[in-house]
Amino acid sequence: MRRSFTLFSVVVHSIVIAAGLIAQVLAVGPLPIPHQAVLFDAAHVMPADIRLPKPPQRAAPAASAAPAVSINAAPLTPPDGVMPETGREGTSPAVAGPAIGIVSGLPDAMEGVGTVAVVPAPPPAPPTPVRLHSGMTAPRKVVDVAPVYPAVARSARVNGVVILEAVIAADGSVESVRVLRSIPLLDAAAVTAVQQWRFTPALLNGEPVPVVMTVTVNFTLQDR
């Protein structure tokens, strides 16, 4: 019974499969489109030679700054020799400045209770000479020295007036002389004479001041 059923089942399945195949062969119509094969896009293919970037190198640790050493720290190396004590160890050097009183030392058993260096104030700058003007008392010549007529100028019959500019100091002395109108053979004699002149001080508001003034020296030939 079981064999007959199995044989019958096999025959029925064979008929069904054969009928399906015959129906596919004899069927009229367009053939089915086969599935498209999967193609690889070359544009998306990763090249075999890939150079990966190198990992960044680690920066070397920065050298730590040398620690500041206090001037009062104990020395790390032994000294070459032992210097005698002066009693001024640990004091800072004196710094020059405009102060009038500067303490130049600390209390010392040998020098007493410190010393104070007093810096004198600088002398005032000398006043600038001014030209004579109204409101001033003009200097007056009190010592006159005549010029020596040069023999060369006398032999050459040279005469005339030499005009000079003289700076009269506050005490009435002649500080400097400059030639304004020159007679070459007579200039040196005129300057030498004016440098020996003396004047009363020029006064401005009752105070003596240096002044600049123009003087003349006349050379005249006298016929013998």
Query: What is the domain extent for residue 176?
Result: 130-219
Q: Each residue of 20-34: b (16+ CB within 10 Å) or e?
A: eeeeeeeeeeeeeee
CB 113 within 8 A of CB 107: yes
Residue 187 belongs to a domain: yes
Residue 189 belongs to a domain: yes
At 55-100, the pLDDT tens digits run 777 766 666 555 666 666 766 776 666 676 776 666 655 544 444 4
Q: Report strand pairing: 211-219 vs 130-131.
A: parallel
Residue 198 belongs to a domain: yes
CATH number, domain containing residue 203: 3.30.2420.10
pLDDT of residue 27: 62
Residue 71 belongs to a domain: no
Residue 27 belongs to a domain: no
Q: Measured between alpha carbons, how far is residue 59 from residues 53, 122, 217 in Å?
A: 17, 61, 90
**Which regions of the chain are under pLDDT 70?**
1-2, 25-52, 59-72, 74-75, 78-82, 84, 87-116, 223-224
Residue 215 belongs to a domain: yes
pLDDT of residue 47: 58
Residue 45 belongs to a domain: no
At 111-121, the pLDDT tens digits run 545 556 778 88
Q: The pTM is what?
A: 0.45
pLDDT of residue 99: 46
Domain total in the chain: 1
CA distance 201 to 137: 8
Residue 147 belongs to a domain: yes
CB 168 within 8 A of CB 139: yes
